[in-house]
Structure 1
Amino acid sequence: MYQTVIEPRVSETDGVGHINNTVIPVWLEAARIDLFRLFTPDLSFEDWKMIILKMNVDYIGQIFFGIDVIVCTWVKKIGNSSLQLYEEIWQDERLCVKATVTYVNYDLKKQKSEPIPDPIKQELEQHLYQEN
Structure 2
Amino acid sequence: MYKKIIDPRVSETDGVGHINNTTVPIWFEAGRNEIFKLFTPDSSFQHWKMIILNMNVDYVKQIYFGKNVEIHTWVKKIGNTSLELYEEILQEGEVCAKGTVVYVNFNLNTQKTEPIPKNIREVLEGHMIPK
Using structure 1 for the length normalisation, give the TM-score.
0.98
Q: Distance in 2 between matches of 1:19 and 1:57?
A: 15
Q: Does 1:76 align with 2:102?
A: no
In the TM superposition, residue 94 of structure 1 has moved relative to its aligned partner by 1.1
Summarize the alignment of residues 18-29 of structure 1 with structure 2, pairs less than 5 Å apart: 18-29=18-29
2:125 is matched with 125
1:62 is matched with 62
Q: Distance in 2 between matches of 1:57 and 1:74?
A: 15
- What RMSD, in angstroms, separates the aligned Cα atoms of the two structures? 0.5
1:110 is matched with 110
Superposed CA deviations along residues 45-71 of structure 1, whole A, max 9, x for unmatched, are 000000000000000000000000000
Q: Distance in 2 between matches of 1:68 and 1:42?
A: 29
Q: Distance in 1 between matches of 2:11 and 2:98?
A: 23
1:35 is matched with 35
Using structure 2 for the length normalisation, give the TM-score.
0.99
Superposed CA deviations along residues 30-87 of structure 1, whole A, max 9, x for unmatched, are 1111000000001000000000000000000000000000000000000000000000
Q: Distance in 2 between matches of 1:122 and 1:56?
A: 26
Q: Distance in 1 between matches of 2:6 and 2:65?
A: 11
1:86 is matched with 86
Q: Which runs of 5+ in 2 are unaligned?
A: none
In the TM superposition, residue 93 of structure 1 has moved relative to its aligned partner by 1.2
Q: Distance in 1 between matches of 2:20 and 2:44?
A: 30
Q: Distance in 1 between matches of 2:125 and 2:70?
A: 22
Q: Distance in 2 between matches of 1:26 and 1:93?
A: 20
Q: Identity of paired residues, percent?
A: 62
Letter in 1 for 2:37: R
Q: Which runs of 5+ in 1 are unaligned?
A: none
1:5 is matched with 5
